[in-house]
């Protein structure tokens, strides 16, 4: 018996890790946009790849997976764009 293939998730994972690195380096706005882009990339990969090649990106049906990742990416991009990062008092 062979282990299931993880597929193309590794293409989106480094983008999300880069977002975490930006966050640790105290660049919150860039981190948010990079992570939103990573979620968008994951949604796009899940949309165009067949289920057998999607690997770790395939959790539920294609529509649910794409909608979830795309909406989370859009929400994160919106929240990041409206952040007020100016120091107070």
pLDDT tens, residue by residue, 28-67: 999 999 999 999 999 999 999 988 888 888 889 999 999 9
| 66 within a domain of the structure (yes/no) | yes
| 4 within a domain of the structure (yes/no) | no
Single pTM value for the model: 0.87
| 39 within a domain of the structure (yes/no) | yes
Q: For residue 65, count CB atoms less than 10 angstroms from its CB and return exposed for 0-12, middle for 13-18, buried for 19 or more.
A: buried
| 88 within a domain of the structure (yes/no) | no
Per the structure, the count of domains in the chain is 1
Spatial neighbors of 35 by CB under 8 A, at least 6 apart, are 15, 16, 19, 20, 76
CA dist 88 and 71 (Å) reads 31
| 1 within a domain of the structure (yes/no) | no
- 24 is in which domain, residue-wise? 9-81
| 55 within a domain of the structure (yes/no) | yes
Mean pLDDT throughout 73-89?
A: 92
| 89 within a domain of the structure (yes/no) | no
| 87 within a domain of the structure (yes/no) | no
């Amino acid at each position: 018996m062979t282990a299931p293939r993880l597929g193309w998730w590794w293409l989106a994972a480094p983008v999300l890790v880069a977002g975490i690195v930006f966050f640790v380096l105290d660049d919150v706005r860039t981190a948010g946009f990079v992570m939103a882009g990573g979620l968008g990339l994951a949604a796009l990969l899940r949309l165009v790849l067949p289920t057998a090649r999607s690997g770790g990106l395939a959790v539920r049906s294609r529509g649910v997976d794409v909608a979830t990742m795309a909406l989370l990416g859009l929400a994160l991009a919106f929240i990041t764009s409206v952040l007020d990062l100016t120091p107070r008092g």
